[in-house]
Amino acid sequence: MYAKFCSGEPAFPFKRLRACDTISPGRKCRLTLAPIDYVSLIIYFAFVLGIGWMAKRKIATSEDFLTSRHSVPVWITSLAFIAANLGAQEMIGMCASGAKYGIMTAQFYWLGAVPAMLFVGLFMMPFYYGSRARSVPEYLKLRFDEKTRGLNAITFAVMTIFSSGISMYALGLLFELVLGWSFTNSVLLSAAIVLIYTLLGGLTSAIYNEVVQFFLIVLGFAPLSILAVEKAGGWSGIAARLQPVMTHTWKYTTHASENPMGVEVFGLVAGLGFVLSFGYWCTNFLVIQRAMAAETIHGARQTPLFAAFPKIFMPFVVILPGVAAVALMSMSSGYTIPLKPTGGYNYDLVLTTLMAKFYPAGMLGIGLTGLMASFMSGMAGNVTAFNTVFTYDLYQSYMKRNAPDKHYLWVGRITTVAGVVLSIGTAFLATHFNNIMDFLQLVFAFVNAPLFATFLLGMFWKRTTGDGAFWGMVTGLVGGGLTLGLTVAEGKGGWIAPVHQFPSSMAQNFWIAIISWSACFIVTVVVTAFTRPRPDSELQNLVYGVTDLPHEQGVAWYKRPGPLAIIVIIVLVIMNIIYW
């Protein structure tokens, strides 16, 4: 989600390049795989398709296909909760950002993810699960009205298609890089694999495959982190070879000019730590859907809390190799970050070049399998979220109500095919726009940010009205667009008038999110003051104060949300102190 907020580079510009020790601008070459590397890829493809075939036996209704009907064990939903976010943007982008910004990039996990994951598990999941809503837009319909649901459903559907297409675009380029296939064949193959296992087993198939993909990602990249850091002399060696700002998370955030991200404490905490992170982890149906698939409300609350533990340590898998890469350049290691044709380092190639540098035959195949698993995880997650929102929140609500359930199951399958086809179109669109990823992340900034303000007021202030929520969301969208049009960062924005210039695109995105959230919050409160609220009898299990919260009597302490959250916070504080 957040990867390209940091890098500020064109997304995945490694078309027809080989991950060599040193790549000069314009040089074209290719990774060389041994037969054992191909075996890893073939086994993975066969395994994910097998999971889809096995999950097919459980599909009898539309809810089986689209929501898993609350049938997935909590340990599975917890790993899927985190794996759904480990897409192409995460793996390539975060490693690139580690090389460009240093360990401060870990704030996208320690500040920009974990606190929000705790919040949704402790406070918001009882309303999502207790309302029996099948999707996040449907919750908005139950809490507010139809127009609010419709606005959120449309914007979310568009975002998921773009995000899925970007994952497919990246995977297609990786196939071209590794195998020398044409971009078209690569995209069609990746689309076919994801389509088959999601069409067979629906959400259940996607969730179980995400668990497999999570372990493949860790297995594929944890050794790379260990090897790169060891080669650089351990953390002490890295710290000795890099500028101090590259090895601290908080120390250089007093002023924006002190760190390469160009953000100060307020922008970092309010923009990333509050608005963007809570807007994504607390309202994005892509991840919320995984928790809602849990067998019980207790499992749904535990899902993001359990997922927070591995999330804390993911920077050591995906960010640390990028930091080590910069240190390796100052040594006689033979490693250099590739250059862009226009000059400057091409940070998006750091991950693949490190793999080529350190992985022998066999391990290279596992690493590439992990990379492909991350791409397919993000793609499938978006497709399954799209088919649910379209089928229930758009088709059933506005096109054909009260049809037999078999009809909606059929629509869900057709929508899955349509979602993949539209993603293919987006993937080809991405070949014409190098900054499409930056555009997509800007959309996240001014779409998810106001949505979080709507949920915050809607869940915890029963006075909030549907008119207030709708016009607040619209104002937030407009406010984000105006902020982008009036500000400039790294040559982006300012299409209305360049009134203000930010030191980085990251700082610009943080402030777009802050302004979007603030505009939505204020307008929602003002409009609510002049409109009539719904009676308490219509808000049962939807709003704090009129909802029976789940009781935890008889549940072991380590399974209770409160103690789990405290343990996560303690570990999180320790990490921040160590890398302060």
Tens digits of residue pLDDT in 288-299: 988 998 988 889
Residue 142: name the closest of 154, 132, 152 by CA.
Answer: 132
Beta bridge partners of 500: 487
113 confidence band (pLDDT: 50, 70, 90): very high
120 confidence band (pLDDT: 50, 70, 90): very high
438 confidence band (pLDDT: 50, 70, 90): low
In this model, does residue 84 exceed pLDDT 90? no
In this model, does residue 529 exceed pLDDT 80? yes
In this model, does residue 570 exceed pLDDT 80? yes
For residues 403 and 300, what is the distance between their CA atoms, to the nearest angstrom?
Answer: 30
Q: Is pLDDT larger for residue 323 or for residue 442?
A: 323
For residues 522-535, average pLDDT: 94
Amino acid in position 478? V
Domain around 410: 3-548+556-578
The pTM of this model reads 0.86
The predicted structure's pLDDT at residue 349: 78
In this model, does residue 435 exceed pLDDT 50? no
Tens digits of residue pLDDT in 121-166: 998 888 888 888 888 999 999 999 999 999 999 988 988 888 888 7
Edge to edge, the sheet with strand 492-493 lists 492-493, 487-489, 500-501
The predicted structure's pLDDT at residue 89: 66
The predicted structure's pLDDT at residue 490: 75
The predicted structure's pLDDT at residue 571: 94
For residues 504-512, average pLDDT: 81
The total of other beta-carbon atoms located within 10 Å of residue 22's CB is 13
For residues 376 and 383, what is the distance between their CA atoms, to the nearest angstrom?
Answer: 10
CA 201 distance to own-chain centroid: 22
The predicted structure's pLDDT at residue 439: 58
Residue 30: name the closest of 328, 373, 340, 352 by CA.
Answer: 352
Retrieve residue 492's tokens. 């982006």
Retrieve residue 560's tokens. 């209770």
Retrieve residue 535's tokens. 């009676």
* Strand 487-489, strand 492-493: pairing: antiparallel
In this model, does residue 15 exceed pLDDT 70? no
For residues 285 and 381, what is the distance between their CA atoms, to the nearest angstrom?
Answer: 10
Residue 198: name the closest of 68, 292, 320, 389 by CA.
Answer: 68
Q: How many CA atoms lie less than 13 Å away from 192 in the CB half-sphere?
A: 8
- Residue matched to tokens 């091409």: 346
28 confidence band (pLDDT: 50, 70, 90): very low
For residues 65-78, average pLDDT: 88
177 confidence band (pLDDT: 50, 70, 90): low
- Classify 42 in phi/psi space as left (phi over 0), alpha (psi -120 to 50) or beta: alpha
Q: Is pLDDT larger for residue 524 or for residue 547?
A: 524
User: How much is the mean pLDDT over the chain?
Assistant: 83
508 confidence band (pLDDT: 50, 70, 90): confident
In this model, does residue 41 exceed pLDDT 90? no
For residues 244-258, average pLDDT: 85
The predicted structure's pLDDT at residue 6: 40
The count of structural domains within the chain is: 1
Query: Could you tell me what percent of the chain has a pLDDT over 90?
Result: 27
Residue 392's domain is classified under what CATH number?
1.20.1730.10
In this model, does residue 3 exceed pLDDT 60? no
The predicted structure's pLDDT at residue 179: 64
Cα torsion through 289, 295, 300, 305, rounded to 10: -110
In this model, does residue 230 exceed pLDDT 80? yes
Alpha helix positions (H), 232-337: 234-241, 265-266, 277-281, 285-292, 297-313, 315-318, 320-329
What angle in degrees, to the nearest 10, is found between the helix axes of 234-241 and 183-231?
100
Tens digits of residue pLDDT in 310-366: 999 999 998 999 999 999 988 877 788 877 777 777 787 788 888 888 888 788 888
The predicted structure's pLDDT at residue 27: 44
For residues 211-222, average pLDDT: 88
Q: Is pLDDT larger for residue 20 or for residue 307?
A: 307
For residues 481-495, average pLDDT: 82
The predicted structure's pLDDT at residue 440: 59
